[in-house]
A = this chain, B = another copy of it.
């Protein structure tokens, strides 16, 4: 038990929301925290459910998404350890605006709404921190709106390919090489479209000589060429 508390306090201290707190404060908060374990693919919560507490990711990865009647998915965010999710329903009392699923084995630290709200009243700097985090989230959503309404799928795909190339690509003789981090289907969900279009657009870029594609293995041959495609008006 003691081990758990110490561990939890460490986890809490690493989250952006609570980084300003002192050790003893983290301890008291940790005492009110519940651990929850989710296996890969398990739902944390679904859109529309009431929200009773704050989730903080201690380990694993969580995808936040909306689902349409026809079964299509639009990813809103993918969160990693140290990040909190669904801060807002905690404060406005409304239901979850989207669903959340663990994409791998995931451990959550859970603090009840009442406790966290009370904590914010006593520690206004935490409330301000929450506002900062929420600000980043809002900016991301505005970015998604911008992409959905101003760019083509082709451009969105190119943009994520370039990001991936930059973050995890390795320079080789043939170009910048990397692996797609997920199936075409999941990529499609993130870009708000369907599998076929991902496949087709990748092939098209290959035909144009900008990429080499072998299933998930990508070789970017012409970064500049790709970049210029981003600026052309749809």
Residues of A within 8 A of B (CB): 66, 68-70, 72, 74, 76, 88-89, 91-94, 97-98, 117, 120-122, 124-125, 127-128, 130-132, 134-139, 141-142, 144-146, 148-150, 192, 231, 233-234
Contacts and interface: CB of A to CB of B under 8 A. Distances in A.
| A120, A122, A136, A150: residue with the most chain B Cβ atoms closer than 10 Å | A150
| A117, A121, A128, A233: residue with the most chain B Cβ atoms closer than 10 Å | A128
Contact of A128 (B98, B121, B132, B137): B121
A19 B137 CA distance: 26
Given A74-B145, A149-B148, A120 B128 contact: yes
B135 A145 contact: no
Contact of A74 (B128, B139, B141, B150): B150
Chain copies in complex: 2
A221 to B, nearest CB: 26
B145 A231 contact: no
Contact of A91 (B72, B94, B131): B131
Contacts of A125: 121
Interface of A is mostly: helix
13 contacts: A66-B142, A68-B233, A69-B231, A74-B149, A74-B150, A88-B131, A91-B128, A91-B131, A91-B132, A91-B135, A92-B136, A94-B135, A121-B124
Contacts of A142: 66, 76, 97-98, 141
Contact of A138 (B88, B148, B150): B88
A124 B128 CA distance: 9
Nearest to A130: B131
Name the 3 nearest CB pairs between A and B, nearest first: A92-B135, A70-B233, A149-B192
A192 B94 CA distance: 27
Nearest to A231: B69
| A88, A117, A120: residue with the most chain B Cβ atoms closer than 10 Å | A88
